[in-house]
Amino acid sequence: MASGGVKVLGTPYSPYVNRVQIALNLKSVDFEFIEENLSSKSDLLLKCNPVNRKVPVLIHDENCICESLTIIQYIDETWTTNGYSILPSDPYDRAVARFWSAYFDDKLVPLMRELKSVQKEEKVAAIERIKEAMVLLEEAYEKCSKGKSYFGADNIGYIDIVLGSYMGWIKAMEIVGGMKVMEEAKTPGLLGWIHKFMSNNAVKSVIPETEIFVKLLRARAIAPPKYS
């Protein structure tokens, strides 16, 4: 499929950038990936995103779209010819997908970032809150998947992309921190879902190996990234 001049500005280890790459792969859109050095941001990035100066940025026919969730929705609405829908067609299901995606980004990701700065007792409490949030996501998975493989049922959908993009970091966080935020007894559905998501062709070529995240997290003392 012709790309129509599609470029993605980002870093390969950013879950937010990975979301955009996965969405484009699902839509069979060819694109050019332009890697950014966030310690020395390019003139192109500053021109395309002068407000936040962050990745990812999608450039489509010279138009710049910023923020990962906005970009995913743009991709879903722009490329429709292969028949793949990322967001559900039903208005209620779309609202549910947006709710749980926002819950993950606004509630769970900040908790994970908290682990770097808090003391031992506070860290234990933060891990427990993360576990509680994972149980809620387990319940959401049961309802949204309708007994099928993904939050999007038969196919990877909006929630899958948002949550799944962070799975490399979460798995590495468990290894580096010597903890488990997802347990077989409480989140069996999520654990099975992770394997299916990470094995999907649209995903496995995008998200780096866990060992790479482990090295990065050890350098950061188990804090997930702040790219957006």
In whole angstroms, give the CA distance from residue 122 to residue 126.
6
What is the model's pTM? Answer: 0.93
* Tens-place pLDDT, residues 37-74: 989 999 999 999 999 999 999 999 999 999 999 999 99
CB distance 198 to 207 below 8 Å: yes
Q: Strand 6-10 to strand 32-35: parallel, antiparallel, or no bridges (unpaired)?
A: parallel
Residue whose token pair is 């049922």: 153
Confidence at residue 226, expressed as pLDDT on a 0 to 100 scale? 62
- Residues 103-113: pLDDT tens digits? 999 999 999 98
**Mean of pLDDT values over 205-223:** 86
At 114 the pLDDT is 86
Domains along the chain? 6-78 (3.40.30.10), 91-220 (1.20.1050.10)
Percent of the chain exceeding pLDDT 90 equals: 83
- In the prediction, which pLDDT does 120 show? 81
